[in-house]
Amino acid sequence: MISPRYHREVPQRYRLEAGKCKQCGHISFPPRLVCPKCKTKSFETVQLSREGKILTFTIIRVGPDKFSKETPYVVAIIELNDGVRLTAQVADCDVNKVEIGAEVKMIFRKIQDEGKSGLHCYGYKAVLV
Amino acid sequence: MLNVERSEIPIYGEMKSRFAGRDVAVIGVGMTKFGELWKKSLRDIFVEASLQAIENSGVDHIDSMYVGTMSGGLFVGQEHIGAVMADYLGVAPVPATRVESACASGGAAFRQAYFEVASGQSEIVLAGGVEKMTDGADVTDALATAADQEYEVYNGITFPGLYAMIARAHMHQYKTTREQLAHVAVKNHKNGSMNPNAQFRSPVTLEQVMKATMVADPLRLLDCSPVSDGGAAVIVCSVDYAKQLKKPYVKVVASAQASDTIALHSRESLTALKCVSVAAEKAYKQAGLKPTDINFAEVHDCFTIAEIVVTEDLGFFEKGKGGAAAENGSTSIGGKIPINTSGGLKSKGHPVGATGVAQIIECYEQLTGNAGERQVKNAKYGLTQNMGGSGASCVIHILEAV
Amino acid sequence: MIGIVGYGSYLPRYRIKVDLIAKQWGADPEAIKRGLMLYEKTVPGLDEDTITISVEATRYALQRARIDPQKIGAVYIGSESHPYAVKPSATVLIDALGIGPHVHVASYEFACKAGTEAMYVAYSLVKAGEMEYALGIGADTSQGAPGDALEYSASAGGAAFIMGKENVIAEILFTNSYTSDTPDFWRREHEYYPRHAGRFTGEPAYFKHIHNAGKNLLEKSELSPKDFQFAVFHMPNGKFPQEAGKKLGFTKEQMEVGWISPWMGNTYSGSSPTGLAAILDVAKPGDKIFMVSFGSGAGSDGFIYKVTNEIDKVRDLAPKLRDMLDNDKIYLDYGQYAKFRKKIILNE
């Protein structure tokens, strides 16, 4: 990861900013240039709900190099209250107690870093409520 | 930027009931053994498979070639794969193009060769696939580039993790059991034990699968296809030309492809793979066939759950019944529709770019009656389903015995 | 009226008991618990740092303040564990919370009192009429070398305070500071763990600065300890703040609510600020709060707050410190703790 790429995603990762289609109301996260539903191209910026529920999840036991020291950790597909879905880790939990349907809220956490001297990279995770 | 408010972007292309071009045949196949090929480089592997295919087909030249490779860049630091392979195969200056669609790269390469021959542009085209995954790269990381790098992988998901989330959702929605997943592995290892080119030639028991090391709950090590080196190549030509060669050949009766959202979380369903059902619908229409007409299929069982979902979405089983089908023997050799007679990705191995081409090879062997112990009796139609990512792309071919 | 218009605190859920640390280094757990009055401490998750703690604390502060984040004109984070040596912590925070970009930002460092310095500057800017609101934060993921006495206390947490003029929940009546060059504790550039001068950190450093700042603050305000419902002092352990408060004339009862170090540890720059947050969580309109921080090197900042009627409207709008301290704890063993605090040498 390099700085420009990280910086570009900041509004989404830090603030859960999404694009709401002015034509059909579909919310795209991250924002897109073309609405996947109605194919029009005009959007307004909205902030996603920070609350939602777990649709499905897994417990990563074998992680990629960047996350290998954090295993086991839970990754879930979460449906936020506004209907938008995203993939996020579920932090601070007993990995064996996570369930489909569990309610979560989104928090701000460090997601990864670029090694010892690189950037700290932040974003969203979920915690059970 | 386009300045129109509403553009005409169709949901997917108009389906043609028949491809307008020439009938296309596969006339020769070749593959390396799949596995940890410590002494062979990426190019050695490709050349070995390709020379075999050329020799078996009896052609004296090729007009063009396509190479399916997922990530030469990340696995061995080599891009520009088309040129490298043409050079080392000794066929330069023929046009050589690398085709990439993640794990569906091989199937996509074959499809390009099919188009080139069908269109009449070339007469003899080599379609190959190759991957060298054991040279020390972070394989988990490299494979994860097939998912949404910024919104899935960034947050720590892995490929086993993505399929594990599909598995958990499928188990939740359809009561698919952990044992049913394990049955897929048991069957495919049994099939692979009869395939001399397979990476794993030893059967596994249900208990072994159920107790294997957890990788991404609920998927265990024996639910996952392995890390493999390997290459596969086939020679594609027109049916008319194949007839002149007087060698066994099979006919390509459908070639279809579809895509879906790159991120699993953006899909309408977490338990169905739309790229599979859309591509399948097109393929069946093109071939004028129904799912029940297919005698066997090679499907993309990168994880056991994938085979279950794919066999449902190909229309072989009712939605939600794929697990039961694996359990009750419907997908075994001798069953209703044998799936992955080659051992599948699970047991044969999954050198990513080679997989789609190797599926074509298994169909060729079955439809020409050369599958040995794994032979499916009276097979007329074989289907291959090759998938990229967590189901963001899918390539389907239907081959017919002649 | 100028003062706090919104506050929020944040503590990680992970804990380690002092007994496990003592056992690891062959020390007597009972002696440590008795001597330092420390029982357990917070530990940041692998994904938590001063920035994430500051963001969550500020999110809660904004929930209580109910203001447009755009109106915040300055954000200062005081910490001695800023994730970057060069790159401000608060730039991440403002982008995460929709503050700015027309905002002053800087990272503050003054050992354990960087947080109160940040609060003081934020307050002063509002008082000077430079801006409508300013944010001061004290947060740390404190370092303590393995086997060092600091390891029993160095913990993680923080609190954020939005200063303003409207709807003030705790008016700031008086402030002061007492500073001298006293080398009791330091960390050189590029060093991972701080060094300290043992018993010299006590009398000539902690007690001297707190006492002089406290005494001066009482004089300046013409108030006496009995005028206060609450008092909070920097909490390097459980014992020191009790002694310092007693010497200034405060009772155990006045210090009880803000005295969270026995179960939280020393959150360094977040120490007295989290204590203050715990007090605001329960304070009633009219209550007066006496606060003196301490930062090695060395200095103390004093504040006198008077709680207003507004407190009742905002108290329950965000999680309370005591709930975070007492509930949902996840206990670590020493090995997990060592991994979490990156005390294990790993390959890159």
The Cβ of residue B205 has, within 10 Å, a number of other Cβ atoms equal to 13
Q: What is the model's pLDDT at position B303?
A: 98
- Strand-pairing partners, residue A44, are A20
Q: Measured at the alpha carbon of residue C219, what is the angle toward residues C214 and C223, in degrees to the nearest 5?
A: 90
Residue C253 has pLDDT above 90, yes or no: yes
Nearest chain B Cα distance for residue A109, angstroms:
11
C-beta of residue C341 within 8 angstroms of C-beta of residue C319? no
Of C14, C56, C339, the CB nearest to A107: C56
Q: Clarify whether C130 is annotated catalytic.
A: no
Can you say whether residue C157 is alpha, beta or left, with left for phi > 0 and alpha for psi between -120 and 50 degrees? left
Of B141, B217, B218, the CB nearest to A65: B141
C-beta of residue C17 within 8 angstroms of C-beta of residue C38? no
pTM of the shown model: 0.95
CB-based contact B150 A87, cutoff 8 Å: no
Nearest partner of C108 among C140, C148, C153, judged by Cα: C140
Spatial distance between the Cα atoms of C134 and C115, rounded to a whole number of angstroms? 13
Residue of B nearest to A87 (CA): B152
Secondary structure of residue B26 in the 3-state scheme: strand
Spatial distance between the Cα atoms of A73 and A66, rounded to a whole number of angstroms? 13
Strands of the sheet containing B393-401, edge to edge, are B96-99, B64-68, B124-132, B229-238, B24-31, B250-259, B393-401, B381-388, B296-298
Q: What is the model's pLDDT at position B5?
A: 42
φ/ψ of residue B94, rounded to 5: -65, 150
Nearest partner of B338 among B355, B356, B313, B363, judged by Cα: B363
Spatial distance between the Cα atoms of C277 and C8, rounded to a whole number of angstroms? 7
Of A41, A42, A63, the CB nearest to B156: A63
CB-based contact A56 B154, cutoff 8 Å: no
Q: Which uninterrupted H or E stretch holds B98?
A: strand B96-99
Q: Which residues of B are catalytic?
A: 103, 350
Can you list the alpha helix ranges (DSSP code H) found in C150-305? 208-221, 239-248, 252-256, 261-264, 271-280
Nearest partner of B224 among B383, B359, B344, B141, judged by Cα: B344
Of A30, A56, A89, the CB nearest to B155: A89
List chain B residues with CB under 8 Å of A111.
Answer: 154-156
List chain B residues with CB under 8 Å of A100.
Answer: 168-169, 172
CB-based contact B265 A121, cutoff 8 Å: no
Rg (alpha carbons) of chain C, rounded to whole number: 18
Strands of the sheet containing A27-28, edge to edge, are A27-28, A17-21, A43-47
Spatial distance between the Cα atoms of B401 and B250, rounded to a whole number of angstroms? 5
List chain B residues with CB under 8 Å of A59.
Answer: 214, 216-217
**In the 8-state DSSP scheme, what is residue C205?**
I
List chain A residues with CB under 8 Å of B263.
Answer: 87
Q: What is the model's pLDDT at position B378?
A: 94
Secondary structure of residue B217 in the 3-state scheme: coil
Q: What is the model's pLDDT at position A2?
A: 73
Any CB–CB contact under 8 A between A97 and chain C?
no
Spatial distance between the Cα atoms of B168 and C67, rounded to a whole number of angstroms? 42
The percent of residues above 90 in pLDDT, for chain C, comes to 99
Any CB–CB contact under 8 A between A108 and chain C?
yes
User: B278-281: which pairs have CB atoms within 8 A and are 24 or more residues apart?
Assistant: B278/B12, B278/B394, B279/B385, B279/B394, B279/B395, B279/B396, B280/B256, B280/B313, B280/B314, B280/B315, B280/B385, B280/B396, B281/B15
Q: What is the pLDDT of residues C117-159, one digit of tens each?
A: 999 999 999 999 999 999 999 999 999 999 999 999 999 999 9
Interface-testing mutation among B4, B5, B74, B150, with chain A (most A C-beta atoms within 10 A): B150
C-beta of residue C175 within 8 angstroms of C-beta of residue C303? yes
Residues of chain B with pLDDT under 70: 1-20
Q: What is the pLDDT of residues A15-29, one digit of tens each?
A: 999 999 999 999 999
Any CB–CB contact under 8 A between A91 and chain B?
no
As a whole number, the mean pLDDT across chain A is 96
Q: What is the model's pLDDT at position B1?
A: 36
Q: What is the model's pLDDT at position B14?
A: 47
The residue-averaged pLDDT of C80-90 equals 97
The per-residue b/e assignment along C18-46, b for 16 or more CB within 10 angstroms, e otherwise, is bbbbbebeebebeebbeebbbbbbbbbbb
Q: What is the model's pLDDT at position B21?
A: 87
The catalytically annotated residue of C40, C82, C109, C112 is: C112
List chain C residues with CB under 8 Å of A51.
Answer: none
Residue of B nearest to A67 (CA): B156
Nearest chain A Cα distance for residue C47, angstroms:
5
Q: Say what the ipTM of the complex is.
A: 0.97
**Residue whose tokens read 């001061």:** C136
C-beta of residue C86 within 8 angstroms of C-beta of residue C273? no
Any CB–CB contact under 8 A between C346 and chain A?
yes
- DSSP states of B250-263 as a string? EEEEEEEEEE--SS
Spatial distance between the Cα atoms of B215 and A59, rounded to a whole number of angstroms? 8
The percent of residues above 90 in pLDDT, for chain A, comes to 92
Any CB–CB contact under 8 A between A6 and chain C?
no
The percent of residues above 70 in pLDDT, for chain C, comes to 100
- DSSP states of A69-124 as a string? TS-SEEEEEEEETTS-EEEEEE-SS-GGG--TT-EEEEEEEEEEESTTTS-EEEEE
Nearest partner of C59 among C197, C180, C159, C192, judged by Cα: C159
Secondary structure of residue A5 in the 3-state scheme: helix
Question: In whole angstroms, what separates CA B364 from the centre of its chain?
Answer: 14
Q: Clarify whether C234 is annotated catalytic.
A: yes
CB-based contact A92 C13, cutoff 8 Å: yes
Nearest partner of A85 among A25, A33, A16, A23, judged by Cα: A16
Residue B246, judged by CB atoms within 10 A of its CB (0-12, 13-18, 19+), counts as exposed
Question: pLDDT category, A116, cuts 50, 70, 90?
Answer: confident
- Strand-pairing partners, residue B79, are none
Nearest chain B Cα distance for residue A23, angstroms:
9
Nearest partner of C238 among C5, C18, C7, judged by Cα: C18
Residues 6+ apart with CB under 8 A from B245: B27, B57, B58, B59, B237
Secondary structure of residue B290 in the 3-state scheme: coil
Q: What is the model's pLDDT at position B307?
A: 98
Q: What is the pLDDT of residues B33-56, one digit of tens each?
A: 999 999 999 999 999 999 999 999
Q: What is the pLDDT of residues C211-242, one digit of tens each?
A: 999 999 999 999 999 999 999 999 999 999 99
CB-based contact B152 A87, cutoff 8 Å: yes
Q: What is the model's pLDDT at position B19?
A: 56
Q: What is the pLDDT of residues A58-103, one digit of tens each?
A: 999 999 889 999 999 999 999 999 999 999 999 999 999 999 999 9
CB-based contact A108 C52, cutoff 8 Å: yes
